[in-house]
A and B are shown apart, each in its own frame.
Chain A
Amino acid sequence: MDAIILQILNGLDKGSAYALIALGLTLIFGTLGVVNFAHGALFMIGAFCAVTVQKLVTLSFEEVDPTRTDFLGNPLKVQMPYVDALFGPSAGEFLINWSVPLAIVLAIPVMLVVGITMERGLIKHFYKRPHAEQILVTFGLAIVLQEIVRYFFGANPIPTGAPSAFAGPMDIGAILGFTPGTVIYPYWRFVYFIFSAIVIGGVFAFLQFTTFGMVVRAGMNDRETVGLLGINIDRRFTIMFGIAAVVAGMAGVMYAPILSPNFHMGMDFLVLSFVVVVVGGMGSLPGAVAAGFLLGILQSFASMNEVKSLIPGIDQVIIYLVAIIVLLTRPRGLMGRRGVMEE
């Protein structure tokens, strides 16, 4: 029982990341009809927002401490962060410690700008062109974006810590009434799950309850009619692209403490996210979210030793196996609409 709960938790957490990326992909596809292969890169840029903030708050000047020596026997040069000098040690310490949550503040405007620039500068010109070309040009863009990040941040993963308050494990077992110490789960992963639930809820609420969202939904169903009613649907779709970028970016920022960001993490997630989107059904927002969590949890269960001893190697292939089965039995994915992307 404990083991099952733990694996569900593990799955929720991986599923959160898949769901957030898949949600953004589907938003873009549903509104603009564009398949965005650069979406993984947006996730990666988000994670590097966290890295950047961490680097900014730890920007330091050198101070020589004559009482200590470095490895060559010279007086030790101590790195003094500017924030400590500016705001005093305790505030500085606080900023450094909370750099990842703080990065959200930076990530929202950055991702909005990146997203809207991408749409206006590049994607706009591809609305009328075949899906294959959309995939290819965004794939090229993804390569360019990740190489730019690599140029500035290097090829190695950069450890980015969670705030120390959330760094340790929490005893979920004790909260749920099991024997204490049996179901232990890292705080930050739990935070990540809650965070993604809020973001997903927020996106749905935005689409459901605001006029803007209503127009966008109407536009997703019938773009022409909405246009004929005199509504500038293009501008709203552009903003939706920005929002999708923000969702991917925030998913990346918060994921940084779980997996040290590296330049190719976007590509790694992209392939799986595409499988998620297709399993969920192209163009279906609830489908994307459901499939994200479903695949995340299935993958965790497949990693259990008991399952692996029954079917060796299942943990490696489960996602793809499920994708194949779903696509063969439900041609449009779990919740897809007819005639989408079948060319």
Chain B
Amino acid sequence: MSERTTGVTRRRVLKGAAAGAIGAGLFPTILTRPASAYTNEPTGSTVKLGFNVPQTGPYAAEGLDELRAQELAVQHLNGEGDGGMLNTFSSKVLKGNGILGKKVEFVSGDTATNSDVARASARSMIEKDGVVMVNGGSSSGVAVAVQGLCQEAGIIFMAGLTHSNDTTGKDRKANGFRHFFNAYMSGAALAPVLKTAYGADRRAYHLTADYTWGWTQQESLVASTEGIGWETVNTVLTPVGAGDFSAYITPVLQSGADVLVLNHYGADMVNSLTQAVQFGLRDKQVNGKQFEIVVPLYSELMAEGAGDNIKGVFGSMNWNWQLTDDGTKAFVKSFGEKYGRPPSNSAHTCYVQTLLYADAAERAGTFNPCGIAEALEGFEFDGMGNGPTLYRAEDHQCFKDVLVMKGKDNPSNQFDILEFVEVTPVEQVTYAPNHPMFGGDEATLGTCNPGA
């Protein structure tokens, strides 16, 4: 910290103090800009990253797991522990000596799954702690809000768990990057599997979390399921964190629908799924068919919370610890040994994002967000658990295979809850950057902002 103030002579101090004193008065036009080339340029022997995750609220379970993974990533970057995915990552510039020779430190904050709180937390990280990058944000509402903030402040935002099309769609930003997959990809991957399992003649009822993620996931799922011949009976928006969904579930019984699509996540999804099962939906026969429930976006933490209710339910994931490639194995090993449980897919994404940021900084040779953005755009890599992956330059979205999962009927231990149904190849989930669901032609990244 002291390095920032190098070369302060008495004269300069006096000048500075005088300028400050006048600036403090009524003539802010003479304010001087700080000397650094970009926001929070690290001048000492350390560099600070900000991990902004929900530690309270409906997505808290995910957030805490993300925090664990990020701490692990920092250890690996600093050369502590067994190195995890650094050993399997296709890019070999990271040496375990921090980033660009600077030791990595981090600060964490609580977003409370609330855009306002998340912005305040991120601002304090940027202004007080001097972070060069903010990583995290379970909930797309929060991610979109914090991404906008980082764009203005001139630092890099590595989105964590955010699945809304908007994050890299109409709200895409030049300083923001997303490794996680999105709602469109979920729809594209799930539809063929659903057609095989449940047939083409189905009537779906959607319960949807009322915010950007829910809206885009509903839009994507309605489009893709109608594409395989399903009919959409009704779509109902439910408030986030409602707790008791019974009033929304009972109408499903009367609607004549035979599939319930739950566009919920986190604790909301645990509650709505449990309650749907309690209301006997899965024991019902409608239109001569067995009633089914689909949860398009899965997470092993949710599956754990929902217990037996998850059995046989289809959903999609970005990554799962049961994959057998070397990257996954290395990561599961170091995470499992440290925390005694396998990492969730949101933990994986946040871990990978931290490494990708570090790698980009190393390759660019600078922490300047514009240099890093350039290094990440169009970057192709492998060995991070998802197979060959592309960071697309046009919208800063990662393209890779998508996993379709199902709740396992006979789990062999407490973490063995989900099983693979299909690994949907990346070609099937790829779309054009100006796809109408992603803001169409109007959506632009804008220009990179180095701030300061």
Contact = CB atoms under 8 A, between A and B. Distances in A.
Interface string B317-340: 000010000000000110011000
Nearest to B255: A305
Contact of B239 (A156, A258, A305, A316): A316
Interface stretch (B276-284, B359-367, B402-410): B276-284
A188 interface: yes
Chain B interface main SS type: helix
A186 interface: yes
A113 interface: no
Contact of A305 (B251, B332, B413): B251
B412 A300 contact: no
A71 B254 contact: no
B234 A305 contact: yes
Contacts of A76: 413
B431 interface: no
29 contacts: A6-B250, A6-B254, A68-B412, A71-B413, A155-B55, A155-B56, A155-B60, A156-B60, A156-B64, A157-B270, A157-B305, A159-B270, A159-B274, A159-B305, A159-B307, A168-B278, A168-B280, A168-B283, A184-B279, A184-B280, A186-B275, A188-B278, A189-B246, A258-B244, A259-B244, A260-B271, A299-B247, A305-B234, A315-B247
Contacts of B253: 2, 6, 182, 184
A6 B246 CA distance: 10
B198 interface: no
Given A3-B251, A188-B278, A259-B271, A181 B55 contact: no
A293 B31 CA distance: 63
Given A169-B279, A184-B280, A305-B234, A13 B246 contact: yes
Contacts of B419: none
Interface string A255-271: 00011101001001000
Interface of B: 55-56, 60-61, 64, 234, 236, 239, 243-244, 246-248, 250-251, 253-254, 267, 270-271, 274-275, 278-280, 283-285, 305, 307, 321, 332-333, 336-337, 341-342, 412-413, 415-416
Contacts of B250: 3, 6-7, 10
Interface range on chain A: under 10, 10 to 19, 20 to 34, or 35 or more? 35 or more
Contact of B247 (A10, A156, A188): A10
B246 A268 contact: no
A97 interface: no
Nearest to B58: A157
B280 A169 contact: yes
B261 to A, nearest CB: 16
Contacts of B342: 71
B249 to A, nearest CB: 9
Nearest to B243: A259
Nearest to A269: B243
B413 A70 contact: yes
Nearest to A2: B254
Contact of B337 (A3, A72, A155, A258): A72
Q: Which 8 A-B pairs have the closest CB atoms?
A: A169-B280, A303-B247, A186-B278, A184-B280, A6-B250, A155-B56, A72-B336, A71-B342
A332 interface: no
Nearest to A169: B280
A83 B281 CA distance: 34
Nearest to A264: B56
B61 A3 contact: no
Contacts of B248: 303
A166 to B, nearest CB: 10
Given A189-B278, A260-B270, 9 more contacts: A71-B342, A71-B413, A72-B333, A155-B60, A157-B270, A161-B307, A167-B278, A168-B280, A265-B243
Contacts of B279: 169, 184-186
Interface string A169-190: 1000000000001101110110
B39 to A, nearest CB: 32
A7 B247 contact: yes
A21 B167 CA distance: 42
A272 to B, nearest CB: 12
A315 B245 CA distance: 12
Contacts of B337: 72
Given A184-B253, A305-B236, A71 B332 contact: yes
Contacts of B247: 7, 10, 299-300, 303, 315
Contacts of B267: 156-157, 260, 262
Contacts of A71: 321, 332, 336, 341-342, 413, 415-416
A304 B305 CA distance: 28
A316 B336 CA distance: 43
Contacts of A39: none
Contacts of B239: 316
A262 B270 CA distance: 13
Nearest to B414: A79
A18 to B, nearest CB: 12
Contact of A169 (B61, B278, B416): B278
The CB with the most chain A CB atoms within 10 A, among B244, B267, B271, B416, is that of B244
Nearest to A302: B247
Nearest to A262: B267
Contacts of A167: 278
Contacts of A316: 239
Contacts of A70: 413, 415
Contacts of A13: 246
A270 to B, nearest CB: 14
A305 B236 CA distance: 8
Contacts of B56: 155
Contacts of B251: 3, 303-305
A56 to B, nearest CB: 20
Interface in A24-82: 68, 70-72, 76
Contacts of B415: 70-71
A128 B332 CA distance: 62
Contact of A156 (B61, B283, B285): B61
Contacts of B236: 305
The CB with the most chain B CB atoms within 10 A, among A156, A159, A262, A303, is that of A156
Given A14-B244, A71-B342, A304-B251, A181 B321 contact: no
Interface in A201-240: none
A75 to B, nearest CB: 11
A305 B238 CA distance: 12
B429 to A, nearest CB: 27
Nearest to B247: A303
Contacts of A303: 247-248, 251
Contacts of B285: 181
A88 B412 CA distance: 23
B67 to A, nearest CB: 13
Contacts of A188: 278
